[in-house]
Amino acid sequence: MSDAAARSATAIAADVQAGRVSAREITEKALARVAAVEPRVGAYLTVLDAAARAAADRVDACIRAGERLPLAGVPLAIKDNMALAGSRTTAASKILADWVAPYTATAVARLLAAGAIPIGKANLDEFAMGSSCENSALGTTRNPYDLERVPGGSSGGSAAAVAAGEATIALGSDTGGSIREPAAFCNVVGFKPTYGRVSRYGLIAFASSLDQIGPLAHTVADAALVYDAIAGGDPMDATSLDRPVEPASARLRDDLRGCKIGIVRQFDTQTLGDDVDAVYRRAYRDLEALGAELVEVTLPTADYGLATYYLIAPAECSSNLARFDGVRYGLRVDADDVREMYARTRAAGFGPEVKRRILIGTYALSSGYYDAYYVRAQKARTLIARDFERAFQSCDLIAAPAASCPAFRFNAKSDPYSMYLMDYYTIPMSLAGLPALSVPCGWVTPDGSTRPMPLGLQLCGPLFSEPLLLGAAHAYESATGHARAHRPALDEAVDHV
């Protein structure tokens, strides 16, 4: 891995701020790394060479003028469902394949203002609908730890870019686990803040009551640094919360003394296989060894999470994606009348998984079924949130798997049901709007492979507990060092830049 990418965001920013290295030098090294490995990884849909160099020059000018930038010169990957003015923004869909954004998403703008350098727009499952990144209509992204395996989804390109050293930090979006699962698959840290903590302005909507932007990074400290930069209210997003943000970077800790961590009775890891179960049981013991008190908690409605999510999210998807009609922007397939033009445009522009979810959502919202499906799902969502509230009366945080298995081979889960089950452990937290993250917790060797693959431990906290959550994850990460146990397979086949 290149020196520029292997170093932390904190170290890069400190060196650029002190004048020991320029942002332009860091950027050139990052772009050279992209040129060397991108043909094998496919993390990006668009590489922003000119924009990156221009941003680096602006950062260097700001440093010379005496400004302080917390992310000065840090290479950034942006999930391609977030707008960046003047750049192609596709959501990995044919229907937006040539759309150039006229504005910049708030979270992206805040990182650029903090000195981050936009290296490229990262691949994803089309419109963020998927758990493997296999649903992209525009490219294939491979897991840097085994190029024959998926990087996870939907933020697979963001996770792969960080893992492959093509970026130091990345932005992803998480609707039901789309930051946490690819982070677990790619041996990086992935963090979903409390719903509404980060502005969604400029994020192409999938499910508006669930979507949340968050960071992926090599370390918890870097994720905290990104979170501190992007969190906070935004008048451009009515769902963002105008509530003071307590900087998480100042709350990182070295132990877990005085912290009660809940282990969910319903999340039995024995069903995941002996090797995966052993990794998670060891992770729980490590939490205890750091001083945490482990307590059993119950989430009686956890098993309803998948069914609830796959009614609410597709219903909101059906509503949000109705705007892609071939009239205002994006792909247009002409026909003799408007109705036929709509049909042809959407048939050609949307992929199979997007069509599937639109159909599910439209059915759930249709007359005669709205109360039976969508309204009942919303009631179940309320019960899930209440279960978490009761659980947090007896613990400070909850620990659980971030994924039920390590990264799998391409096309290994060809039926939708198997793929949807991948989100079992992450969806309940999303439905409740809670902050949650994945931190590397160990390695397993999947059947038919000789290469160890990473797993992630999920930690979840009450609403607005980001500093506590990131602090605890930092203590676990520092004490265990699982992320450093193995190098990506990519680095065994590609010369260092």
Question: Mind telling me the catalytic residues?
Answer: 79, 154, 178
Are 8 and 168 spatial neighbours (Cβ–Cβ below 8 Å)? yes
Are 420 and 310 spatial neighbours (Cβ–Cβ below 8 Å)? yes
Q: What gap in Å lies between CA 271 and CA 497, rounded to an integer?
A: 42
Distances (CA, A) of 164 to 40, 159, 197, 306, 439: 10, 9, 29, 31, 17
Q: What gap in Å lies between CA 68 and CA 46, rounded to an integer?
A: 29
47: left (phi over 0), alpha (psi -120 to 50) or beta: beta
Are 396 and 468 spatial neighbours (Cβ–Cβ below 8 Å)? yes
Are 293 and 260 spatial neighbours (Cβ–Cβ below 8 Å)? yes
Q: Could you tell me the strand order of the sheet in which 453-460 lies?
A: 44-47, 117-122, 75-79, 169-174, 212-217, 189-192, 436-444, 453-460, 397-401, 260-264, 293-297
73: left (phi over 0), alpha (psi -120 to 50) or beta: left
Task: Single out the residue of 482, 457, 8, 1 nearest to residue 224, CA to CA.
Answer: 8
Q: Which two tokens stand for residue 383?
A: 């019960």
Q: What gap in Å lies between CA 213 and CA 191, rounded to an integer?
A: 9
Q: What gap in Å lies between CA 110 and CA 222, rounded to an integer?
A: 15
| Three-state secondary-structure class, residue 208 | coil
In this structure, the number of other CB atoms found within 10 A of the CB of residue 92 comes to 32
Amino acid in the structure at residue 457: L
Concatenated DSSP letters of 291-302 = TPEEEEE--TTG
Q: What gap in Å lies between CA 205 and CA 458, rounded to an integer?
A: 25
Q: What are phi and psi of 175, to 5 degrees?
A: -105, -45
Distances (CA, A) of 381 to 419, 428, 429: 21, 8, 10
